[in-house]
């Protein structure tokens, strides 16, 4: 494992977005290892719950393949089955990745893929102050909110009514983030109000049109 760094809420270098948007839920400290410069580049937070309709899954993988073009740094928990597949696809490209486990980095066993990415300076492992080794549902929600607070763009593959994903969308919209889901029949009556639909085929042009720069 590479050296682990830590910063507290009182430190001037603590990300202002977390302090401002998360309020009393802001992590007391952050813990990270890897390419620290990824704190300072545009980020897309990518989410997919365990339960996701097949029609949305197809677009989720299409999006991951498009993001392999190194359009922007991709941040995720890489925890659900689909998110794990995203990690597999994205690590085979030049795209920088920010992996946010809802658990401490202490004594974390790195996969061979993670070690390779760290060696390429393409990976930042980021823990939002969790001390335990087994995350709870509440830990996962706080972790996801922290990622949304740090990101310029939030993409949720599917957000069922009343789900944590729907709540995440609502909070990100409240924070005036750009929040997207897939243009998909499954979402016609279910996408949270204010969430925009994203056509995967238009993503490269969509980035250019919005002036979003490529990650280094």
CATH of the domain at 146: 3.40.50.450
Number of domains in the chain: 1
Terminal alpha carbon distance of the chain = 23
Helix (H, G, I), strand (E, B) or coil at 51: coil
Q: Which residues contact 193 (CB under 8 A, 6 or more apart)?
A: none
Task: Give me the torsion for CA of 171, 199, 197, 150, rounded to 10°.
Answer: 10
Q: Which residue range forms the structural domain that includes residue 175? A: 5-209
pLDDT tens digit sequence for 40-72:
999 999 998 777 777 778 888 888 888 888 878
Residue range 124-150, pLDDT digits in tens:
999 999 887 677 888 889 999 999 999
pTM score: 0.90
Residue 214 falls inside a structural domain: no
For residue 62, being part of any structural domain is answered with yes
Asked, for residue 215, whether it belongs to a domain, the answer is no
- Is residue 64 within 8 Å of residue 86, measured between CB atoms? yes
Mean pLDDT of 181-209: 70
């Amino acid at each position: 494992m590479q050296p682990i760094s830590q910063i507290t809420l009182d430190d001037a270098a603590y990300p202002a977005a977390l302090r401002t948007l998360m309020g009393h839920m802001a992590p007391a400290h952050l813990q990270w290892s890897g390419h620290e410069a990824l704190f300072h580049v545009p980020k897309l937070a990518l989410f997919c719950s365990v339960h996701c309709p097949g029609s949305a899954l197809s677009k989720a993988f299409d999006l991951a393949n498009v993001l392999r073009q190194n359009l922007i740094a991709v941040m995720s928990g890489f925890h659900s089955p689909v998110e794990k597949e995203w990690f597999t696809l994205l690590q085979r490209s030049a795209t920088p990745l920010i992996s946010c486990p809802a658990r401490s980095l202490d004594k974390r066993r790195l996969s061979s893929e993670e070690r390779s990415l760290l060696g390429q300076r393409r990976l930042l492992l980021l823990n939002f102050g969790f001390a335990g080794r087994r995350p709870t549902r509440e830990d996962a929600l706080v972790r996801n909110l922290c990622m949304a607070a740090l990101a310029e763009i939030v993409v949720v593959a599917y957000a069922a009514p009343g789900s944590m994903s729907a709540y995440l969308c609502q909070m990100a919209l409240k924070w005036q983030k750009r929040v997207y889901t897939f243009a998909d029949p499954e979402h016609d009556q279910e996408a949270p109000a204010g969430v925009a639909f994203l056509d995967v085929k238009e993503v490269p042009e969509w980035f250019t049109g919005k002036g979003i720069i490529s990650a280094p």
